[in-house]
Structure 1
Amino acid sequence: MQYYIGIDLGGTNTKIGILDSRGNIIDSGFIKTDSNNMDRTLNLIWEKAKELLKKSEVGIEYIVGIGIGIPGPVVNKSIVTFFSNFNWERNVNLKREFEKITNIETRIENDVNIIAQGEAIFGAAKNKSSSITVAIGTGIGGGIFVEGKLISGNSGVGGEIGHIKLEKNGKLCGCGQRGCFEAYASAKSLIKEAQERLELNKNNMLYKEIGGNLEILEAKHIFDCAKKGDQFSLELVEYESDYLAMGIGSLLNVINPEVVVISGGISLAGDILLRSVREKLKLYAMPPALENFEIVLGELGNEAGIKGAVALFY
């Protein structure tokens, strides 16, 4: 039996998993990421991986590949042009650095591309020739998978769908530009919109749900109240679904995938959001792009990162 190590490198924690060739997780764990010291973090990852191998009774000689998901653009599954929220060097050949430590073939990819590949190989887009995964959380990331390959582009920024433009001179985005998809449809932007509305309208279930404390508001509160019929929250779902449909519709017109997979925290909204997005897509996508097309929720959840890292070898 062949085995793999999947690594999901995060700003706070790094998840590590031992997986078999079918993508099943044998064991997993995590370490605290040292965002100021790359060498220390890489060595800690390897020590944890060896600990998991020993616990799982899998010999190192049976590990045929290591996949790592990185928060940042990656070129040729090797070079990380920069690490988002990390004080690590730019243009690092992380593949080479980790292979020096492990002597095992290592492949690197952007973390959202990793999730997209995981959903394409093992999850909601399995057996589809083309899919786009839209990861919606604090920001919006994306991964485009066509005919067995990720589209990562010339300099590794392929799939940065959160920064397609929906409004000219619109809301300021974290990237420094204005009018981005992410500035309108991410969980963070939805919460900000809700807070602004709650300042003006306190006569609703949502305001009572959070006890009037706008600082603790989460997207989950909005969707939970909407499911209970709160009109104020339902209007926020309409706002979110309209911008989601606008952004996804643009992607459908360009890529024409068989399926779009919604992952990330906002996917917990479930059908109340998806139903609205499906209906509004008719306003933004060309009719042929909606033929034989599905929009679904991701299946891999918290395992998407480590499973997707292993999918780099498929």
Structure 2
Amino acid sequence: MNYFAGVDIGGTNTKIGVLNSEGDILKSTSIKTESIMGVDYTLNKIWGTIQNLLEELEIDEIMVKGIGMGIPGPVIDRKIVGFFANFPWDKNINISEKMEKISGVKTRLDNDVNVIALGETLYGAGKGFSKSVTIALGTGIGGGIFIDGKLVSGATGAGGEIGHMKLEKEGKLCGCGQKGCFETYASATGVIRETLSRLQINKNNSLYKRIDGDLNKLEAKYVFDEAKNGDKFSLDIVDYVSEYLAMGIGNILNVINPEIVILSGGVALAGDILLDKVKEKLPNYALEITVEKLKIRIGELGNDAGIKGASALTI
């Protein structure tokens, strides 16, 4: 029996699992990434955690045939990270080479949202589809494109950065430094920014009461919760977000023409109150033929998607 390790590296926490060749997680855990301590420290800590999991499972290290890693940043040739989002590490580090020296195990990596897309495609909501796009709707917006058995990473690892499609000329400022990006309107950050702006003017709504008038308590989840309760103010926000989400997805459909779009992340958990509006508005932005048989589903794997997808990079 062969085994594989899947590693989902985040800015604060890193999720690590040991899987069999069928993609089943046998045991998993989460550790602090501590990127401030340096790349070598973090990689050694990850390998030490994998060793501990193997010991608990009574699996010999020699049975581990691959380590797959999801990393926040563009990845070239599944080995070199062009730059690290929110990590104080140098550019163009060959993480694969470093990890292989530490562990003696073949290591491959890809962008963190790409591995989520791979996990959902192989084991989750996209299983059985050969052309899929996964959109991670969280603090920002990330994407993973899976076509005919392969992830589309692009020439320099930036393939799938759909959050930075431009939806408005000279629009709202994005964290990337440019303006009008998809994620400035339809991410959790975008939801909060628009809601805060409106709450400055309109405080006569159940959402304002939900946060006891303390704008620092606002979360995107509260907006969707109050919309489900019928709060008109919150419903207007959902309508606003769904318009931009439909626009962004429509652009993707016109370029990629996938069979299925998988939505993951916190905003996607809003469920039907958001999805129904997106589906209603989608024909305004996408060619009819791209929508006719399209499936839109919420991701099924949750926090396991990254671990499962990462491990599949080496299977």
The answer, yes or no, to whether TM exceeds 0.5 is: yes
Q: Distance in 1 between matches of 2:280 and 2:313?
A: 34
Show the 5 A alignment for 1:300-311: 300-311=301-312
Q: Distance in 1 between matches of 2:268 and 2:20?
A: 28
CA contact (8 A) 1:171 1:178 kept: yes
Q: 1:69 Cα shift? A: 0.3
Q: Distance in 1 between matches of 2:39 and 2:300?
A: 31
Amino acid at match of 1:252: L
Show the 5 A alignment for 1:71-220: 71-220=72-221
Show CA shifts across 1:52-103 (max 9, x none). 1101112212111110000000000000011111111110111000000111
How many residues of Structure 1 are paired with residues of Structure 2 in the alignment?
A: 314
Amino acid at match of 1:216: K
Q: Distance in 1 between matches of 2:220 and 2:63?
A: 43
Q: Distance in 2 between matches of 1:278 and 1:87?
A: 40
Q: Distance in 2 between matches of 1:50 and 1:91?
A: 27
CA contact (8 A) 2:107 2:314 kept: no
Q: 1:162 Cα shift? A: 0.3
Q: 1:30 Cα shift? A: 2.0
Show the 5 A alignment for 1:202-281: 202-281=203-282
Show the 5 A alignment for 1:25-36: 25-36=25-36
For 2:35, what is the secondary structure of its paired residue? Answer: coil
Q: Are residues 1:292 and 2:293 paired?
A: yes
Q: Distance in 2 between matches of 1:292 and 1:311?
A: 28
Percent of aligned positions that are identical: 59
Q: Distance in 2 between matches of 1:235 and 1:313?
A: 45
Amino acid at match of 2:127: K
Q: Distance in 1 between matches of 2:87 and 2:183?
A: 21
For 1:145, what is the secondary structure of its paired residue? Answer: strand
Q: Distance in 2 between matches of 1:207 and 1:139?
A: 24
Q: Distance in 1 between matches of 2:312 and 2:143?
A: 16
Q: 1:149 Cα shift? A: 0.3
For 1:125, what is the secondary structure of its paired residue? Answer: coil
Aligned to 1:12: 12
Q: Distance in 1 between matches of 2:79 and 2:292?
A: 37
Amino acid at match of 2:30: F
Q: Distance in 2 between matches of 1:112 and 1:73?
A: 10
Q: 1:119 Cα shift? A: 0.6
Show CA shifts across 1:237-281 (max 9, x none). 101111000000000000000000000111110111111111110
Q: 1:313 Cα shift? A: 3.0
What TM-score do you get using the length of structure 2 for normalisation?
A: 0.98
CA contact (8 A) 1:75 1:155 kept: yes
Q: 1:8 Cα shift? A: 0.6
CA contact (8 A) 2:69 2:110 kept: yes
Q: 1:305 Cα shift? A: 1.0
Q: Are residues 1:54 and 2:47 paired?
A: no
CA contact (8 A) 1:30 1:48 kept: no
CA contact (8 A) 1:8 1:69 kept: yes
CA contact (8 A) 1:34 1:41 kept: yes
For 1:156, what is the secondary structure of its paired residue? Answer: coil
Q: Distance in 2 between matches of 1:300 and 1:100?
A: 31
Q: Distance in 2 between matches of 1:48 and 1:11?
A: 17
For 2:200, what is the secondary structure of its paired residue? Answer: helix
For 1:301, what is the secondary structure of its paired residue? Answer: coil
Q: 1:35 Cα shift? A: 1.4
For 1:200, what is the secondary structure of its paired residue? Answer: coil
Q: Distance in 2 between matches of 1:144 and 1:28?
A: 26
Q: Distance in 2 between matches of 1:222 and 1:24?
A: 35
Q: Distance in 2 between matches of 1:311 and 1:222?
A: 36
Q: 1:13 Cα shift? A: 1.2
Q: 1:34 Cα shift? A: 2.0
Q: Distance in 2 between matches of 1:120 and 1:77?
A: 18
- Runs of 5+ consecutive residues of structure 2 not aligned to the other structure: none
Show CA shifts across 1:16-37 (max 9, x none). 1011111111111122112121
CA contact (8 A) 2:135 2:144 kept: yes
Q: 1:202 Cα shift? A: 0.6
